[in-house]
Structure 1
Amino acid sequence: MNSWKTKIKITVNFESNTELLSDNSMGIYFEYDSDETLVVHFKPLNEVFSESTLFSTQGVLINFERDLIDEDDIEYALDVMSLFNKFPQYHIQDAKEVNQISKIIELLKDEYCSATVSYIMLKTLLKVLLLHLIRFQNDELLPQDIHQKRVFQFLELMEVNFLKETNSDYYANELGISTKRLNQILQDKLNLTAKQIIQQRQVTEAKRKLIKSEITTKELAFELGFESISSFSRFFKKNVGVSPTVFKSQQHS
């Protein structure tokens, strides 16, 4: 896959958020505090790493676009979203766990730098790494910010329902808060409103379907809940820069 470099990036000792692939990417920074302690920093969608993270003198950044997890089953995608939104960082202090994570990171780095790099291998190794982190995090009983919890609950609901529910009121009602309060929390944590996040998810899904399937623009517009092809085409071009037809032809050229 020729475009794999736009989907995943591995950086040793990164120094600035400008090095990230995009705002709509996910990042994990592994800071080696000692041989037996690994500090794991998470950058969820639409956020950046804190300045204190960038002061680390030794570490590895693994940065990837969200469609790497969207290509798999929804349960896995939700687990990954939970991993990134529960806690901004946590410490792995078990020597065996640190060793396991370090070995997977080295395999990822070796594959990433290989002259015969395989996109499938990168994606598989990334999945193994994420599954290990999910398991380790689930074993930890850490305090969770109530607003961060609401963010995850919203993202989880949206992931399951965005194809049929695009109104912010629906998600606010499901969470038992007002739409105004939901938007305040999302603005504070992600700097986006509920509607903007839903639209961002629609764009990601539209791009994925146009690349991966033979779906027509009309079928896709209907599937994403648009009233007409023209309204979907305007929405897609506004967010992507080209029409759905042009985007699809560019991906298959």
Structure 2
Amino acid sequence: MINKAIAVKDKTDPAKLIKVALFDQKKRITKPHKHNGYLEFVLLEQTQGKHYIDGQEIQIMAPCLLIIRKDNVHHWELDEPVQGYVLLLKREFVENSLDLEIRRLIDELAGLNTINFTDVSTLHSLFSLLSAEEHRTVQEALLKAILAKSVQQAGAGKTLKTKSKNLFLQLTQVLNKEKQILNNVAYYANLLHTSPQNLNAACQKHADKSASEVLSGYIISEAKRLLFYTNKTVAEVAFQLGFADQSNFSKYFKRAVGLTPQNYRKSTA
């Protein structure tokens, strides 16, 4: 008996955390595979065919945007010619961003694999500009515009409406709007009138993360913002984020970032 393994592809550039390129016509028919730790957005402006993702068959009628996550097993059969762009986004790009809106917008797209459009002229321009951009701040602005346009279209299509997904989105919206982010899942569960177990289940279903992991992403981003933009001491940052003491916060931060808060501040000075 031959053991079959799912192929894992890596189309990223080791030196880049984000990459945009024109769709490769030679890859209009692919075999089942996963991606090596990155999120992929495929803007299809012209083509039709089938996209198979985690066993689900989806009819493709351009224009549309495909969203493929690192754990998805997928392949497609697209008719030529295929006109569009492929955007590869590494997790580190989002984690290193001080703009929490990018994380929130990605969270809002959780659970979606296809967004249908009637007009992608704006997205075409954004993808084109991003493909030639090297400056990090401009890259973030263009990516945020792409994500915002996608969320807007998804909302117009009424695809974000299940109860558990709404619970997950409510959490991300609260985290994005709260002036103070606390390291306490139970606090946010109570705020959303649910239990920590229900909140955790919603996060697992629609983001493939526990509620603690979702919260951790926001906490680390907020910690980076406070360390970069303010003169607060590490102890003051720890207190603001709901940690009992500076030591616990420093260990938490180093596990996630690889640097102590003090060394992170020095590296960005």
Is the TM value for this pair above 0.5?
A: yes
Q: Which residue of 2 aligns with 1:106?
A: 128
When residues 234 and 118 of structure 1 are mapped into structure 2, their CA distance, relative to the original with a 3 A threshold, is closer
Aligned equivalent of 2:89, options 56, 59, 63: 63
Q: Secondary structure at the match of 1:158?
A: helix
The runs of 5 or more residues in structure 1 that have no matched partner are 21-25, 112-116
Q: CA deviation at 1:60?
A: 0.6
Structure-to-structure mapping, 1:1-253, within 5 angstroms: 7-10=17-20, 16-18=34-36, 20=38, 27-34=40-47, 37-42=62-67, 48=70, 50-52=72-74, 54-55=75-76, 59-63=85-89, 65-66=93-94, 70-71=98-99, 78=104, 80-81=105-106, 83-85=108-110, 87-92=112-117, 94=118, 97-111=119-133, 117-142=134-159, 144-161=161-178, 163-252=180-269
Contact 1:148-1:189 within 8 A present in 2 as well: yes
Q: Secondary structure at the match of 2:63?
A: strand
Q: Distance in 1 between matches of 2:87 and 2:73?
A: 14
When residues 238 and 82 of structure 1 are mapped into structure 2, their CA distance, relative to the original with a 3 A threshold, is closer
When residues 166 and 232 of structure 1 are mapped into structure 2, their CA distance, relative to the original with a 3 A threshold, is closer
> Runs of 4 or more off by more than 4 Å in structure 1?
11-16, 56-59, 67-70
Q: Which amino acid aligns with 2:254?
A: K
The runs of 5 or more residues in structure 2 that have no matched partner are 1-14, 28-32, 49-60
When residues 188 and 10 of structure 1 are mapped into structure 2, their CA distance, relative to the original with a 3 A threshold, is same
Contact 1:154-1:175 within 8 A present in 2 as well: yes
**Could you say which structure has the larger radius of gyration?**
2
When residues 212 and 103 of structure 1 are mapped into structure 2, their CA distance, relative to the original with a 3 A threshold, is same
When residues 178 and 124 of structure 1 are mapped into structure 2, their CA distance, relative to the original with a 3 A threshold, is closer
Q: Secondary structure at the match of 1:29?
A: strand
Q: CA deviation at 1:18?
A: 0.8
Q: Distance in 1 between matches of 2:35 and 2:200?
A: 25
Q: Which amino acid aligns with 1:71?
A: D
Q: CA deviation at 1:56?
A: 6.4
Q: Which amino acid aligns with 2:257?
A: V
Q: Which amino acid aligns with 1:10?
A: V
When residues 31 and 145 of structure 1 are mapped into structure 2, their CA distance, relative to the original with a 3 A threshold, is farther
Q: CA deviation at 1:212?
A: 3.6
Q: CA deviation at 1:202?
A: 1.2
TM-score, normalisation: structure 2? 0.68
Q: Distance in 2 between matches of 1:86 and 1:146?
A: 13
TM-score, normalisation: structure 1? 0.71
Q: Secondary structure at the match of 1:207?
A: helix
Contact 2:228-2:268 within 8 A present in 1 as well: yes
Contact 2:160-2:166 within 8 A present in 1 as well: no
Contact 1:86-1:144 within 8 A present in 2 as well: no
Q: Which amino acid aligns with 1:9?
A: K
Q: Which residue of 2 aligns with 1:114?
A: none
Q: Secondary structure at the match of 1:48?
A: coil
Q: Deviations over 1:165-196 (max 9, x none)?
A: 43222322333332222222323333332223
Q: Distance in 2 between matches of 1:225 and 1:143?
A: 31
Q: Deviations over 1:177-232 (max 9, x none)?
A: 32222222323333332223222321122123323443321221122122222221
Q: Which amino acid aligns with 1:222?
A: F
Q: Which amino acid aligns with 2:207?
A: L
Query: How well do the aligned residues superpose, as a CA RMSD in angstroms?
Result: 3.4
Aligned residues: 228
